[in-house]
A and B are shown apart, each in its own frame.
Chain A
């Protein structure tokens, strides 16, 4: 489509510039942190430590990718903790108790995840509850279901093939990092180059206009929640493959980490603004903070302080620059 309106053109240029700025500012922060840490701690910049950070960031990125889709559409998914715990535990039980091979157990777990996501989506779109109330309710319900079913059991001892996904290396790079890279490519493609992705952005930017222009909002939102639950499941499966055990509450904190990664990455709660690159960088920044504080010998209890400040400062700087850009154009 040819853009004839000059004002519209400059607006679009503004959006593109904003997106590039957001990504590069996050990369700059990441780079700065790496430089500072390299000076402060000699053991920081080793290939091993770098791979370690990426390996731990991988599940958070994978879960955060699902959260990003939901937040882009102006929602939020707080049920991820329980979804991850429930599906992870079920997957583990299928593999250990029932001796089902992992390549069948994992899709079964994902199927369960899809059902849980559909429940979330159904409550949000058809019963019309605000998403953070609906998903907090399902968070409690799924959590109760997990504990009732498992009664505090810890499942461990997975097969070699399953552990391969979590700990082994392919061409010198941990498989879990390669998996996260594949997830990144798929999400980038879907969000930027398919009609579904464009519809997600459109709904987030303006739900009313999207509805009027014929987008089936309910269906798209339900799919968004299913994607979110699927990624929570997949992330939890990779996570238990890495730590080689599953217990009822291992997913606690996943949702908060995923939301934090998404927010640090520049995705806005106003909906319609944000990138999957941002979430990837956000998840690495979170793990970098944890790693840096460990190496510097700072008590892990202060990690939340730094994470919280980084979230607020990241969003503040975005808002500040957006207002500055508006003033320039106006």
Chain B
């Protein structure tokens, strides 16, 4: 696909555009990482789309009230972690389906950000804040380093620490995990906190790019993230997880959107094409994993 776009769209192959894709893709990759952890614990987090809006809006609101930008940013991310904590607490202690809780939280988080911004969006004047997206560090855009750092961090957590093992165990069979003495509730809570926090960080990057805090900016991102995770080879039923796949899935979606936009197609047509591609990608991923299962048996 990259090849096709490089061949037919003149601007697509330039370094500028590659950096642009990295900046755009950072948001979805970061959210997809959190989603991958949640899905591999056999859960789902529908609230992340609203959390992207929440962290941006809250940060913009606090900067507008005169707070220093890095404090505001920290509070914005922490608010998202807090909502992740609430998600995890209600899901594990209340024994409710993750789908229901995070669906309710989608409304709640969106409403809080709408309330703060009074329905509109808040402009961010702070120059250092916009450097988060537009600045460079060692020749690469800053979002690239943030994303790379987070990918390595999550990869380390999932592959090299006890957290990863336990999350996968919970995802494949929560009851036996409990019998083995794994603190199921604790790890579920951790997973949702991480997912919320990552959504918050993604929201900051997005807010820094558009220089506004907008409550509705992350809408539907949760579904794109889910699609990216499934395309990346993580089964929706949990138990396994492929974080590199999730990152690549997210990047594919971004490249598709970027390339089609540069082709000069109308946004409606892009929506349709992305929809069709997402579905065929998910179908393909499922076929591959089913084939793998058959091979094992």
Interface residues of A (CB under 8 A from B): 76, 78, 123, 127-130, 132-134, 136-141, 143-145, 147-148, 256, 259-260, 263, 268-270, 299, 301-309, 311-312, 315-316, 319-320, 323
Contact = CB atoms under 8 A, between A and B. Distances in A.
B251 to A, nearest CB: 19
B268 A148 contact: yes
A157 to B, nearest CB: 25
Interface stretch (B12-20, B71-79, B96-104): B96-104
Interface residues of B, number: 41
Given A133-B226, A133-B227, A139-B275, A299 B100 contact: no
Interface of B: 90, 94-97, 99-101, 103-108, 110-112, 114-115, 118-119, 223, 226-227, 230, 236, 266, 268-276, 278-279, 282-283, 286
B271 A144 contact: yes
Given A136-B227, A307-B111, A315-B101, 8 more contacts: A133-B236, A133-B278, A143-B268, A143-B271, A148-B268, A305-B108, A305-B112, A311-B107
Contacts of B236: 130, 133
Contact of A148 (B90, B266, B278): B266
A143 B266 CA distance: 13
Contact of B279 (A129, A256, A303, A307): A129
B275 A138 contact: yes
A121 to B, nearest CB: 14
A129 B282 contact: yes
Nearest to B283: A127
A137 B100 contact: no
Nearest to A145: B272
A292 B106 CA distance: 22
A304 B96 CA distance: 20
B238 to A, nearest CB: 12
Interface of B: prevailing SS: helix
B279 to A, nearest CB: 4
B67 to A, nearest CB: 22
A265 B265 CA distance: 43
B97 A140 contact: no
A308 B108 contact: yes
Given A133-B236, A309-B108, A311-B104, A140 B275 contact: yes
Nearest to B237: A130
A312 B266 CA distance: 39
Contacts of A148: 266, 268-269, 272
Given A136-B227, A144-B275, A304-B107, A312 B282 contact: no
B287 to A, nearest CB: 10
A312 B90 CA distance: 9
Given A130-B236, A302-B111, A315 B100 contact: yes
